[in-house]
Amino acid sequence: DTAVSQTPKYLVTQMGNDKSIKCEQNLGHDTMYWYKQDSKKFLKIMFSYNNKELIINETVPNRFSPKSPDKAHLNLHINSLELGDSAVYFCASSQVPNSDTQYFGPGTRLTVL
C-alpha cells in the first residue's frame, strides 16, 4: 500500500538517450511534483501539476517533459540525456497545490554515462 511509488529505482544510461521515470500516488491527491536532488544533496523543485495541469515549471530545460495522464500519475520524460542530468529524482504529491504536507516517493537514481 505504498503511497507514492516511482519506477525504476535505478536507471543507468548513455548520454544522448531518451528515458522515462514513472510516478504514481494512491492518496487521492490533486497535486504532484518532480524534484531533482543533485550530488550535493541539494533538492530543487522542477515541476508541479494540479489536476493534470502544469502550475509550476522552474526553468527546467525543455528536454524534460512531464506528462500527467491522470491525477494519480505524473511521468517524467527526458530527451537527449546529458551527464549533468545524473541525480536522484523525487516525485511527491499533496492534497492541494503547495499544501503544508507533501508526500515523497523513494526516488529514482539516474546515472548518465
List contacts with another protein (CB under 8 A).
Answer: 4, 33, 40-45, 48, 55-56, 58, 90, 92, 97-98, 100-102, 104-107
Q: Which is nearer to another protein, 13 or 57 (CB)?
A: 57
Of the candidates 37, 7, 10, 38, which has an alpha carbon nearest to the alpha carbon of residue 23? Answer: 7
Least CB distance to another protein at residue 15 (A): 25
Q: How far is the CB of 71 from another protein (least distance, A)?
A: 17
Residue 2 vs 17, nearer CB to another protein = 2
- List C-alpha distances in Å: 87 to 12, 29, 46, 104: 11, 26, 13, 16
The C-alpha atoms of residue 23 and residue 108 are separated, in whole angstroms, by: 10
Minimum gap (Å) between residue 48 Cβ and another protein: 6
> Residue 58 or 82: which CB sits closer to another protein?
58
Q: What is the largest CA-CA distance in the chain?
A: 38
| Residue closer to another protein, measured from CB, 15 or 54 | 54
